A and B are shown apart, each in its own frame.
Chain A
């Protein structure tokens, strides 16, 4: 496949992915669509990974090791989006004080943490044969590590705060402050160690890889949306069950201690 064709196919995938984002986004907001969405996302991820693995030639320097990029790079993009969701949902919560914004932020943080851990693991697996070490303060690996710890802090704070209302407010505040730090962390670690390779985005990678990367970028975006929707539904169902129990407890005239 020559560069021009690859670029055209890549553009088509980009466009198709954006169009597909509409029904996927819609399905993520519908409770009944959750299961079909899961099946779709699973198939989409498998197909995208297979495409990435099969159609791209081994990289000159790294050989097949390069193919880890199809998991690493898309999951890194996806966790950035997850953090953005945490940021927006947290602001909405503090503004409107509605429970579902709080649960959305929490769901995005959990899904984001999973993807961050995935990106970090892939980065380390890639780092061992490439640099001879599992972990090195390479800007991207350092950045991913720090983001994972910020996500972990957010989740830990939620776990340690019992009162529901307080948990929502505190974690929203921490979510906002933490999300603000993400670009700052990114800038500082990049500035700190600029001697490593530039980022692997489609523009700097061989055109043959564009197709695999584009496909997987959307696959992981859909995966993120599905995971967020899944956790969100679960937490809202929990909330609903709690509300029913609360109401029942409120109606009973005898106080149960």
Chain B
């Protein structure tokens, strides 16, 4: 009798343990009001990008205004029109899609690959570490714009060119952080404790080192997204990104540059979006860093 009672309560404890980590995470986030606010802002931004086709009042690539460069608040055109008489609001909404994809996707991809490389290098050390890091040092030497021009030379300008360029450029930076993080975790006493309990190399690497090393990497990557939005816009500005008439925020700035004196809003509206978005990711990164540090101090 007692045995069955015991049994069920333990099973419940076991299964709830898995969901409890997620619940703990959610609780931690909801308790942090600053982080909650920032994440809601991010969700709004993502919502705008996803719902661009629904939200935008006009087709972003068709001239809809009576004249180009109409000011903010013109009738029917809340944010005015650009130098080709297109609706700026619609273009900003559609541009959010490209700008976010082009900065988030390569950062995510680079982070994932970096965690794998950094984990292997930090955990195994020795020759594996030396070779992996030497290869990445070569990547370190690439200036991002030259690399993007080279990639564009092979693949032609476009979305993929920017994504590949940013991925390659980010890889060595994130991997450095991932490797350092893995090295720190490897020297922690609980790794030796796991070995003394008879754990195999792979199990220790995946169950002990990996979960404990990713925190700082995620924080770093989040901050990088903010920077990459700016970088991606820069590459678009140079004409290496999506081709007209489609546009992300960087390309919109490039188009507005010609009429900067007469109609500064054509440039400043997408510019403001870049600043706000980059800032948002940076603040989220900072907030996550505080979270992780607080947990470490515990």
Is B truly associated with A? no
Chain A residues close to B by CB (< 8 Å): none
